[in-house]
Amino acid sequence: MTDRQYDGDPDDKRALDEIVERYYLRLSELAAKIRRRSPRASTTAASLLNDAYIRLCRNPPDRRARGHGEILAIFAKAMRHITIDQARSKRATKHGSGNPPVPFDETVHVFRDPGALSPEDRLNLECAMNELERLDGRKAKIIDFRFFLGMTADECALALNLSKATVERESREAKAFLISKIAPKQAMEATPDAATH
């Protein structure tokens, strides 16, 4: 049995509903992971998944959305954007709170617990993610899967039809890129041969 593809027609929600029904348990697990990683968040896993669904109904995926990996990628991106919107909202209500930027040696922590970031740092990470997505969409998906959804390298490899080694390599490359964008000065200082280049 093959997946019915959502054809991008805003009036045809039935195909999107079938996809959500088919992947509901997996998407619920992923939403719960995001929620657990952000214990201070006010949203529940169910509301995060529902918000992602509503967002997709308003702005449906195009005809290129095919199969398990692409569907997970679409929902991962929607859920990431929801958490970023929440960060923007918190930042607006606490503007000028004086939170210092995350130092470089703590920036690596972003990739273990993105939910622990301040709203300001979450917005900086989102800007870097948008740039990564423009440059290399596959690496951006890997970051979405591994660090925003908490998928293992094996799960990510299966979803994207890649080898585990490729996922791990591109994950390292993407993390290095993001760190260089989030904390460029500290990244240069941390590079042993930075002064010679």
Q: What is the pLDDT of residues 81-113, one digit of tens each?
A: 777 776 666 655 554 444 444 333 334 444 555
Phi, psi of 47 (to 5 degrees): -70, -30
The DSSP-derived string for the chain is: -PPPPP-S-TT-HHHHHHHHHHHHHHHHHHHHHHHHH-TT-S--HHHHHHHHHHHHHHS---TT--HHHHHHHHHHHHHHHHHHHHHHHHHHHTTT--PPPPPHHHHGGGGT-GGGS-HHHHHHHHHHHHHHHHH-HHHHHHHIIIIIS---HHHHHHHHT--HHHHHHHHHHHHHHHHHHHSHHHHHHHSTTGGG-
What is residue 12's predicted lDDT score, i.e. its pLDDT? Answer: 54
The answer to whether residue 6 is domain-embedded is no
What's the rounded Cα separation, in Å, for the pair 141 and 147? Answer: 10
The answer to whether residue 44 is domain-embedded is yes
What is residue 170's predicted lDDT score, i.e. its pLDDT? Answer: 96
Check pLDDT > 50 for residue 188: no
Q: Is residue 156 within 8 Å of residue 142, measured between CB atoms? A: yes
Look-up: residue for tokens 């970031």?
117
The answer to whether residue 50 is domain-embedded is yes
The answer to whether residue 7 is domain-embedded is no
| Amino acid at the residue 134 | R
Give the confidence band of 11 by pLDDT, cuts at 50, 70, 90.
very low
The answer to whether residue 4 is domain-embedded is no
Residue 75's domain comprises 13-191
What is residue 168's predicted lDDT score, i.e. its pLDDT? Answer: 94
Give the confidence band of 190 by pLDDT, cuts at 50, 70, 90.
very low
Read off the pTM.
0.56
Q: Who's near 188: CB < 8 A, 6+ residues apart?
A: 194
Q: Is residue 100 within 8 Å of residue 51, measured between CB atoms? A: no
Q: How many domains is the chain partitioned into structurally?
A: 1
| Residue 147: exposure state from Cβ atoms within 10 A (0-12, 13-18, ≥19) | buried
Give the confidence band of 70 by pLDDT, cuts at 50, 70, 90.
confident
Look-up: residue for tokens 């348990």?
25
The answer to whether residue 91 is domain-embedded is yes
The answer to whether residue 156 is domain-embedded is yes
